[in-house]
A and B are shown apart, each in its own frame.
Chain A
């Protein structure tokens, strides 16, 4: 079974530029999560999708961050414009969403804003 795929693995951009990350969850997984992990901290939930609907985006900085999961499968997370403090690893995870099931994680995208 293929795991959660994320791309790119690494990205370096200048502040005020835009960037997009892509995530393809495990086939059939209804729940998809995006997390931001700043160096030395635990991952912070940015947004959670159930199929193509948003369950929780309370910690998503909506003035600059946006995410979509149009067909309920893969998802993109965009930052526009980026700030220095957005430098972090962006992790995508998925789970089947039914009962107490395991979550599976992608390798993450390491973003550096200079």
Chain B
């Protein structure tokens, strides 16, 4: 079993739709990062959370530590949101290891 699993792998939405990307993770991971990667490779950190919920603009990230599950939501999606969204789990303690999921390729059509 992968340490960080994401779904779906690919997602196509119409402009304005509400989008959800899911991430489940293994025991030992104490924090979850949500990252955005555009064509060309550069990665931007969207959120880091270890409990509760965070919001930034149209993006919302939630985490349920009992269920070891996190979601990234995009409200009122726009074509410029098209990118790969990746969740990455950080192990606690001294290791500080950061393990990535496989990513979700999102295409928002006008």
Please list the residues of chain A having a beta carbon within 8 angstroms of any beta carbon in chain B: 31, 33, 35, 37, 41-45, 48, 50, 55-56, 89, 91, 93, 95, 97, 100-105, 107-108, 110
By a CB distance below 8 angstroms, the chain B residues around A43 are: 86, 100
Which single member of A31, A42, A91, A105 contacts B96 (CB below 8 Å)? A31
Which residues of B are interface residues toward A (Cβ below 8 A)?
6, 30-31, 33, 35, 40-45, 48, 50, 86, 88, 90, 92, 95-103
Main secondary structure on chain A at its contact with chain B? strand
| Residue numbers in A under 8 Å from B43 (CB-CB) | 91, 93, 105, 108
In angstroms, Cα B90 to Cα A55, docked, is 14
**In the docked arrangement, what's the CA distance between A97 and B95, Å?**
9
Q: Measured between alpha carbons, how far is A90 from B89 in the docked complex, in Å?
A: 19
Chain B residue at minimal CB-CB distance from A97:
B96
Across-interface contacts of B97 in A (CB, < 8 A): 45, 48, 55-56
A33 with B42, Cβ < 8 A, contacts A42-B103, A100-B48 known: no
| 20 A-B pairs in the complex with CB atoms less than 8 angstroms apart | A41-B103, A42-B100, A45-B97, A48-B96, A55-B95, A56-B95, A95-B98, A97-B96, A100-B30, A100-B31, A100-B92, A103-B88, A103-B90, A103-B98, A104-B45, A105-B35, A105-B43, A105-B45, A108-B42, A110-B41
Q: How far is the CA of A101 from the CA of B47 in the complex (A)?
A: 11
Assembly CA distance A95 to B45 (angstroms): 12
A55 contacts which chain B residues (CB < 8 A)? 95-97
Alpha-carbon distance A50/B35, docked complex (angstroms): 22
Does A107 contact B30, Cβ atoms closer than 8 Å?
A: no
The residue in chain B whose Cβ has the minimal distance to the Cβ of A104 is B45
A75–chain B nearest beta-carbon distance, Å: 15
